[in-house]
Amino acid sequence: MLKIRLRRIGAIRQPHYRIVVADARAPRDGAFLEILGHYNPRTDPATIQVDVAKYEDWKHKGAQPTEAVERLVRQFNRAARKAAAAEETSSASRRTRTASGKGISRPTAVAEAPAEAPAPPEGPIAAIPTAEAVAEETALNSTDEPVLEAVTETPAGAAEGSTDTDTAV
């Protein structure tokens, strides 16, 4: 009789398992016919990798999985379905958001671009983003959450260099 079971590998107190097809009479770490996957309980979360096609093929041939292997394969299938659903949902929402325009912030007034754009400045000022670049980046990275922006100008009526946080006496 063939069993689909765990075969322990790894050092002392560092278990790592292979999911294998072996004769039921063979020792736990003895001879096996084929490796179907891996299981590492030491990672957070535990790493499970199973070739489901091979697993199903061996089950159809009459190999009996142990309870531990059945649990791991169910857990692997559940995680794979969740990942596929999440990927499908995220790609579908991306398509919907792009197609319908939801979630994309658009400027209220669109200015016509001048026929000849001025040459970009050189030096440290070149690193400061322009209003158009900020609006474009906001449109690309837009979410439904409000965005807080830092004020870079001195408020009207305040002396240059004075702040509310000065604690010097």
Whether the CB-CB separation of 22 and 30 falls below 8 Å is answered with yes
Architecture of domain 2-83: 2-Layer Sandwich (3.30)
Mean pLDDT of the chain: 76
pLDDT of the residue at 90: 77
pTM of model > 0.75: no
What is the per-residue pLDDT across 101-145, written as a single tens digit (0 to 9) for each?
555 555 555 555 556 656 655 655 555 666 666 666 655 555 555
Of 12-21, 54-63, 144-153, least confident by mean pLDDT is 144-153
pLDDT of the residue at 98: 46
What is the per-residue pLDDT across 48-91, written as a single tens digit (0 to 9) for each?
999 999 999 999 999 999 999 999 999 999 999 998 888 888 77
Domain ranges of the chain: 2-83
Cβ neighbors of 155 (< 8 A, separation 6 or more) are none
The fraction of the chain above a pLDDT of 90, given in percent, is 43
Q: Distance of CA 83 to CAs 24, 74, 76, 86, 90, Å?
A: 34, 14, 11, 5, 10
Burial per residue of 125-159, b for 16 or more beta-carbon CB atoms within 10 angstroms, e otherwise = eeeeeeeeeeeeeeeeeeeeeeeeeeeeeeeeeee
The fraction of the chain above a pLDDT of 70, given in percent, is 54
What is the per-residue pLDDT across 80-98, written as a single tens digit (0 to 9) for each?
999 888 888 877 666 544 4
pLDDT of the residue at 122: 62
